[in-house]
Amino acid sequence: MAELTGAQILIECLLKENVEVVFGLPGGQALPIFDAIHGSKLNFILARHEQAAGHMADGYARSTGKPGVCIVTSGPGATNIVTPLATAYMDSVPLVAFSGQVSTAVIGQDAFQEADITGITRPVTKHNFLVKDVKDLARTIKEAFYIASTGRPGPVLVDIPVDVQRGICELVYPEKVSIRSYKPNYNGHPGQIKKAASIINESKNPVFYIGTGVVVSNAEKEILEISKKADIPVTNTLLAVGAYPHDTNLSLGMLGMHGTYAANKAVQAADVIIAVGARFDDRCTGKVCDFAKAAKIIHVDIDPTAISKVVETDIPVVGDAKKVLEEMSGLVESKKRADWIKKIDAWKAEHPLGYERNDDKLHPQYVIEKISELTKGEAVITTEVGQHQMWSAQYYKAANPRLFVSSGGLGTMGFGFPAAIGAKFGNPTKEVIAVAGDGSFQMNMQEMAIAILNDVNVKVVILNNQYLGNVRQWQEMFYGKRYSHTCLAKRPACPSWCNSPDRSKCPVYVPDFVKWAESYGALGIRVTHKKDVEGAIKKMLEAKNSVVLDVWVEIEENIFPMVPAGKSLDEIITRIGG
């Protein structure tokens, strides 16, 4: 068998893992790898920033279910992917990142562009490796993909010193992986599943609370079957948007801080919560000690460390969501819960999601509704983080799972646009739209070059309110409307105290997103009136090129409902003063 360099072994291993595309940026301590990429069959996409490369790999992974892959160099190249790794870790995304490293002989000597990236990323990766011998490289890569994509998925980093990249040995790629300390359990305990079904059968007011685990295990069909069979309403986390049909009467919509009134009321009134692939994060539970106080908690999760981590669980079931629900389905009795559903319908009617639809103002919710309507909920929507993210989750009616891609746990601004590029590489026939705020878009908008140079037809809709809108809303509601350093148009000549922003009086906004888009070769469109929104979205969707649609929405529009941080779900606010 021919001998290969470590760099060549890496490329061959990626091809054996059927990796379709790799995102990244070269550097001095990764030169052997990039030399091996040159002329290989690997589809490598040169990003303009390592953070964006990591988010591209993340968007690819979330929208396809396959591991995303990125390659960067040592030192700052490696530290620039810490945020993408943390983002993927918080949201259970399978990501495999490779970093170049200084030679093994000088590790620990503060060599040029040396950083202890395995030490730095240990808290934000599912696992990481420092490969010191080229003979270990192929096995390590096999284990990295296995760990990233099995059990509760997550990011894995493989740090490869430059001398290991140059080292030579035969390529022996393992067929299987066996790690003594890592044996994910996919089959739930039959006794626990039976207990869970028995409690569900006895309950009067049960609620399903579903999260990412349902998406990862493709368990949406099983959730639908059981919920219909037993008349159980379903609420979802931000990352499970699209995992349950929004148009059924049992759909409660999203839970938590910006969840629906009905979802929050139902969870608080439930006698049984069936949490599936959800981790009870604080945005969903509100004040934990007041969360669903009357309910017994059934928690189905493949990660045993998630059980009782936040909310004490009565019936834990450790296993794959789909497998557990398949078994549970035969044990749950067919039942109608008319009184419970009637109460929920009343909550839905009392405070439905809504905004002022009858005026001429350009409300951001209207834009999202139009995108949803014109794409029939079949486009992949990625978001940055902020108000636009919540309006997208509330008003975009995703037809299926993996059509709503967002940074949930870490809340990473600058995520959405590169994630959209990654999603488009993974879904070339689907429409991919990045919905952004004007603040968050500016964090990684340089990646438009990647979209243009690679003919990646990605659409960007900027809900431009000239503010860091989510922070501004909190300043309005909880800090006496003191808009401290959230205005993106503010100049030194502006009054120090401005709590009444008015576009007609404010300084000229920079950048001009239309001219900026055109400078890259994309189509730029600006909309300032409600009557022009639908036509502009149609024009955007018909374009064969990347488009930036800059929509000047109401500046002081707020997201409602809202559960203030640290408050109980019962303290939900449906409007200012209400």
Say if residue 451 is in the same domain as residue 412. yes
Q: What is the pLDDT of residue 552?
A: 98
Q: Do 220 and 330 fall within a single domain?
A: yes
The pLDDT of residue 578: 55
Kindly tell me the burial class for residue 496, based on how many C-beta atoms sit within 10 Å of its own C-beta (0-12, 13-18, 19 or more): exposed
Supply the pTM of this predicted model: 0.97
Q: Is residue 332 part of a domain?
A: yes
Whichever domain contains 522, its CATH number is 3.40.50.970
Residue 248: left (phi > 0), alpha (psi -120 to 50), or beta? beta
Q: Are 84 and 69 in contact (CB under 8 A)?
A: no
| Tokens read off for 198 | 């028995």
| Cβ–Cβ < 8 Å for 240, 215 | yes
Distance CA 428, CA 419 (A): 14
559 located within any domain: no
Residues 372 and 346 grouped into a single domain? no
Q: Please, are residues 3 and 170 in contact by the beta-carbon 8 Å criterion?
A: yes
Judge if 422 and 531 occupy the same domain.
yes
Is position 391 within any domain? yes
Note whether residue 152 is domain-resident: yes
364 Rama sector, left if φ>0, alpha if ψ -120 to 50, beta otherwise: alpha
Q: Tell me, what CATH number does 267's domain have? A: 3.40.50.1220
Same domain, 16 and 127: yes
Are both 342 and 374 inside the same structural domain? no
Same domain assignment for residues 293 and 424: no
- Domain boundary residue among 170, 200, 234? 170
Domain span at 84:
3-170
List all residues 6 or more positions away from 437 whose beta carbon is below 8 Å from its beta carbon: 384, 386, 387, 388, 462, 463, 464, 465, 468, 469, 470
In DSSP notation, 278-332 reads ----HHHHSSGGGTTTT-EEEEEES-GGGTTSSS--SEEEES-HHHHHHHHHTTS
Tell whether 220 and 157 lie within a shared domain: no
Number of domains in the chain: 3
Q: What is the C-alpha separation between 300 and 325, in angstroms, rounded?
A: 9
12/101 same-domain check = yes
**Which of 325, 350, 375 finishes a domain?**
350
The answer on 157 and 16 residing in a single domain is yes
Any domain includes 433: yes
Per-position pLDDT tens, the chain of length 578: 689 999 999 999 999 999 999 999 999 999 999 999 998 999 999 999 999 999 999 999 999 999 999 999 999 999 999 999 999 999 999 999 999 999 999 999 999 999 999 999 999 999 999 999 999 999 999 999 999 999 999 999 999 999 999 999 999 999 999 999 999 999 999 999 999 999 999 999 999 999 999 999 999 999 999 999 999 999 999 999 999 999 999 999 999 999 999 999 999 999 999 999 999 999 999 999 999 999 999 999 999 999 999 999 999 999 999 999 999 999 999 999 999 999 999 999 999 999 999 999 999 999 999 999 999 999 999 999 999 999 999 999 999 999 999 999 999 999 999 999 999 999 999 999 999 999 999 999 999 999 999 999 999 999 999 999 999 999 999 999 999 999 999 999 998 888 889 999 999 999 999 999 999 999 999 999 999 999 999 999 999 999 999 999 999 999 999 999 999 999 999 986 65
Residues 158 and 194 in one domain: no
Q: Looking at this protein, which amino acid is placed at residue 109?
A: Q
Q: In terms of domains, do 17 and 152 share one?
A: yes
pLDDT on residue 50: 98
| Residue 274 forms part of a structural domain | yes
Tokens 């819960």, residue? 337
Q: Is 282 inside any structural domain?
A: yes
Does residue 568 belong to any structural domain of this protein?
Answer: no
Domain boundary among 306, 322, 350: 350
